[in-house]
A and B are shown apart, each in its own frame.
Chain A
């Protein structure tokens, strides 16, 4: 079963995306605080990560950089999902594979996930 990690401090986002993805047949992990994301990813080995930018602990940008620097984890596609105006620029800068601006169409989310899971 394909595993997806959602990392966001907003409960509404966690809940609604989980619902969507579970309905699409993914196994979903949620993480409200990105501080221990490296250990969490290493342990659960998700196939794709959705991550917000502004969060307590590590910011999405920092977390992405850490993951992408790690040779055993940098193959995992990361999609930044944020309401930040500069999402596109930040995503490119920190090495994320893709980005999605909040609020988004569920179809777009599904498409991007499908695309990166290839």
Chain B
């Protein structure tokens, strides 16, 4: 069998082979042989099983007639070749053979596989894109191309960024400008127009949006047009909330401005100092100036006597070399001085400041200045210049810097408000305390007058006049003023310049509102206290005068009745004084208790009886019993009863009864005292247990010190009990307290808990 049998097949590009019934390959064409590197020889027939995988072999063997299939040929070099096989049977040379015409589809297969992989990648990328869209740190929304920019889709962050009380739950299909009406017709809207015109994204930074009621926010973002067929079909809006950064930057900028301001002051001081030095008289200066002449590149340096003196050397002691000069310089400044020299040789000018050490070890500051001279070939030949002792200046400077530093430290840590005003009466410095106190940044004040910072014209004029007076009299001044319902005291002190002129005025202002308030309360307390003490005293005095005038005509019963009445008022006076003493003891942490075991019901009855004895207007009605033997301070608890009952009677002038109930639950006794009086208003409720507090109904109408409930609460707390009340204005109050039956007294004495 040879190529001659099938000349066309032989030359075909398809891989063609012919199998006999034993699946032996009895013919291969040129393409087959060259691709698979097999050439059949009669000695060892090539079996189909060798070149196809078993599965394909089965298929091929089973197919009787026409068939087509995909299979994989394996070359001798073990290369895999994907083939598309067309197969048919025919009789040939007396036997039935199968002709396999295979087309190499490896490339196509690979390509398909690649496409498949790409598809996978695409899917993944798409997924990632979606993820990015959803989880990006920026809010992204797809908007309709026309105003009012309907939201087509958006990610979660976008929803979150616009998550404000008035925002609808879903933003899809809502108009951007319905959700953010403040943005319509603003700079923001112009970005859309611009993006649509230039067909590119428009980026914006730190766009301040104030439309939320939660305060301003800042956005960075981009508006990109989505263009298809040269038409803008949508906008992509990306927003990043940069409020935190912006706020941080603002704070930083404020700080910088403040710092720059302090630095400016410092350098102004320096300049003044320098001016002053320059104006120093020449003779004085001359005596401190020494001249040197150095031949560049040589050891020859000439010094005047004065220069040697400046270096602390005896006449003729200077060795005349560059190295010797260097050795006189303070080691820390040597490099600086040498740099100045090499710099001078390039620029022609020598100027520096450095320290030297005298032979006696003292350190002196020198200022050096000189000029380089050149020869015809522009080579430096000599450096001639002067040295001047500037130690005094340096010391003053550093002292000044120190005092400036100290001033700043004091001004910036002071609770008092420190401001500095120039002769134009503008603020030139405000301390951080001012910034905190008025909640305004330094820029709000700097370079402004009192008239421009929100003070009333009257106040601004007063402050201005005060500054004027200090500028004229050059003497400190103290003024008091009130602003925004607070009281302030300012001390204005002049800051002098070199010619005793007032450069500026330092104003130290203290908020004395609390002090005033305290003084006012103290005054009120004293006035009430004296009233309260005098009232029972007036009765006692009246009774005693009646006795004195008429005891001879009185019966013993009459005398007795007056003495009893007098006694009631003496007791009342005594209670008042005890209350005042208790108050001072509570405040100083010396509120003493004496523990005993006593019958609680007896205590209740006695307390009620003692109040009932001098209040005929009200019936005090007791219900319930406890049957409890209580451990605690009997006297102090009686104080609580007397106090609450007195209040109940006192603050219900129109009523005729007070209800007292006692009970026991879970080993604690409960007491409630109910009146039908004036009650306590909502705004007063949280304060009634405070010292000196008297409700708005009580003030000016009822006598009292405002300490009874404060003391009562302390006593209950020390017994580890609880006290509270309910009240309706105009209907009455119910005070309730409960005490544990078996509990030791608390010895922790913090009265303000």
Residues of B within 8 A of A59 (CB): 700-701
Distance in angstroms between the alpha carbons of A92 and B569 in the assembled complex: 30
Residue of B nearest to A81 (CB): B538
Chain A: how many interface residues by the 8 Å CB criterion? 29
Residue of A nearest to B698 (CB): A56
Partner of A103, one of B538, B549, B565, B678: B538
Distance in angstroms between the alpha carbons of A57 and B678 in the assembled complex: 11
Q: Are B542 and A20 in contact (CB under 8 A)?
A: yes
Q: Are A12 and B703 in contact (CB under 8 A)?
A: no
Residues of B within 8 A of A105 (CB): 545
Q: Are A83 and B535 in contact (CB under 8 A)?
A: yes
Residues of A within 8 A of B533 (CB): 83
Size band of the interface chain B makes with A: 35 or more
Partner of A104, one of B538, B546, B678: B538
Contact with A along B139-157 (1 / 0, CB 8 A): 0000000000000000000
15 contacts between A and B (CB under 8 A): A10-B536, A12-B540, A12-B542, A12-B568, A12-B572, A20-B545, A32-B653, A54-B701, A82-B531, A83-B538, A84-B527, A85-B531, A103-B542, A105-B545, A106-B549
Q: Which residues from chain B sit less than 8 Å from chain A, CB to CB?
A: 527, 530-543, 545-546, 549-550, 562, 565, 568-569, 572, 614-617, 653-654, 678, 700-703
Q: Are B653 and A10 in contact (CB under 8 A)?
A: no
Distance in angstroms between the alpha carbons of A12 and B658 in the assembled complex: 21
Residues of A within 8 A of B615 (CB): 11
Residues of B within 8 A of A17 (CB): 542
Distance in angstroms between the alpha carbons of A13 and B490 in the assembled complex: 49
Distance in angstroms between the alpha carbons of A104 and B537 in the assembled complex: 9
Most chain A C-beta atoms within 10 Å of own C-beta, residue among B527, B530, B534, B550: B534
Q: Are A85 and B701 in contact (CB under 8 A)?
A: no
Q: Are A10 and B539 in contact (CB under 8 A)?
A: yes
State the Cβ distance, A30 to closest chain B Cβ, in Å.
12
Residues of B within 8 A of A57 (CB): 653, 701
Q: Are A106 and B653 in contact (CB under 8 A)?
A: no
State the Cβ distance, B647 to closest chain A Cβ, in Å.
13
Most chain A C-beta atoms within 10 Å of own C-beta, residue among B538, B539, B549, B678: B538
Chain A interface, DSSP helix/strand/loop, else mixed: loop
State the Cβ distance, A110 to closest chain B Cβ, in Å.
10
Residues of B within 8 A of A9 (CB): 653, 702-703
Partner of B541, one of A54, A82, A103: A103
Distance in angstroms between the alpha carbons of A32 and B700 in the assembled complex: 16
Distance in angstroms between the alpha carbons of A104 and B654 in the assembled complex: 29
User: Does A75 touch B at the CB level, under 8 Å?
Assistant: no
Residues of A within 8 A of B569 (CB): 12
List A residues 56-93 near B (Cβ within 8 Å).
56-57, 59, 82-86
Q: Are B565 and A15 in contact (CB under 8 A)?
A: yes
User: Does A39 touch B at the CB level, under 8 Å?
Assistant: no
Q: Are A11 and B614 in contact (CB under 8 A)?
A: yes
Q: Are A106 and B531 in contact (CB under 8 A)?
A: no
Most chain A C-beta atoms within 10 Å of own C-beta, residue among B535, B536, B702: B535
Q: Are B538 and A106 in contact (CB under 8 A)?
A: no
Q: Are B546 and A20 in contact (CB under 8 A)?
A: yes
* 11 other A-B residue contacts (CB within 8 Å) besides A10-B539, A83-B531: A10-B538, A12-B565, A13-B538, A19-B542, A54-B531, A54-B701, A57-B701, A101-B534, A102-B535, A103-B534, A104-B538
